[in-house]
């Protein structure tokens, strides 16, 4: 597995548009609270996740990204949604443009198993929130609303968009 694939790719193509596989974890505790992170690069709220490295297995990448960003060790993982298209394009503050084919996984957890620790510098805060306490939608990273609306509808069938 090639670690840090995206920085490697950016070294070759600069800020030009690129496509990558994104991995997102919809982490929900037994009370129905969802784990959010506030990104350090753009200040937006999102669900934990990141990019798959070259030749990395999907679930290995998901577990790695979530552990790096939150300290959470995922045990139960279910494919929830695959999203793509314009709404999954991110324009980063440094000028990078990346379109993601985003794989989102539903990951139920027990509160007792969670000890939040951000170790990679990619987030300024981590917290669980019930829907009534979610951050304002205008401050969410694109595609977050699509995933949370699907969850709130109780739609656990895998959707492809």
8 Å CB contact between 149 and 64: no
Q: Are strands 78-83 and 97-108 parallel, antiparallel or unpaired?
A: antiparallel
Q: What is the pLDDT of residue 106?
A: 98
Mean pLDDT for each 10-residue chunk of the chain (161 residues)? 92 96 98 96 95 97 95 96 96 95 97 81 91 96 95 96 92
Q: How far apart are CA 134 and CA 88, in angstroms?
A: 21
Q: What is the pLDDT of residue 116?
A: 87
Q: What is the pLDDT of residue 45?
A: 97
- Residues 6 or more apart whose CB falls under 8 angstroms from that of 42 comprise 92, 93, 141
Q: How far apart are CA 111 and CA 161, in angstroms?
A: 31
pTM of the model: 0.94
Task: Compute CA distances 59 → 42, 49, 53, 66, 79, whole Å.
Answer: 26, 11, 11, 11, 10
Q: What is the pLDDT of residue 115?
A: 84
DSSP 136: P
- Residues 6 or more apart whose CB falls under 8 angstroms from that of 140 comprise 44, 45, 46
Q: What is the pLDDT of residue 138?
A: 96
Q: What is the pLDDT of residue 99?
A: 97
Q: What is the pLDDT of residue 17?
A: 97
């Amino acid at each position: 597995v090639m670690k840090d694939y995206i920085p490697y790719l950016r070294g070759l193509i600069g800020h030009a548009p690129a496509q990558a596989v994104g991995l997102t974890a919809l982490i929900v505790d037994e009370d129905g609270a969802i784990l959010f992170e506030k990104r350090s690069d753009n200040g937006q709220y999102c669900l934990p996740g990141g990019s798959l490295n070259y030749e990395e297995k999907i679930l290995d990448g998901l577990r790695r990204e979530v552990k790096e960003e939150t300290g959470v060790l995922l045990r139960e993982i279910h494919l929830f949604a695959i999203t793509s298209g314009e709404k999954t394009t991110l324009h980063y503050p440094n000028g990078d443009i990346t379109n993601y084919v985003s794989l989102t996984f539903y990951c139920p957890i027990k509160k007792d198993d969670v000890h939040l620790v951000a170790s990679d510098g990619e987030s300024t805060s981590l917290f669980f929130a019930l829907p009534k306490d979610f951050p304002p939608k205008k401050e969410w990273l694109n595609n977050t609303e699509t995933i949370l609306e699907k969850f709130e509808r109780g739609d656990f069938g895998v959707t492809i968009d």
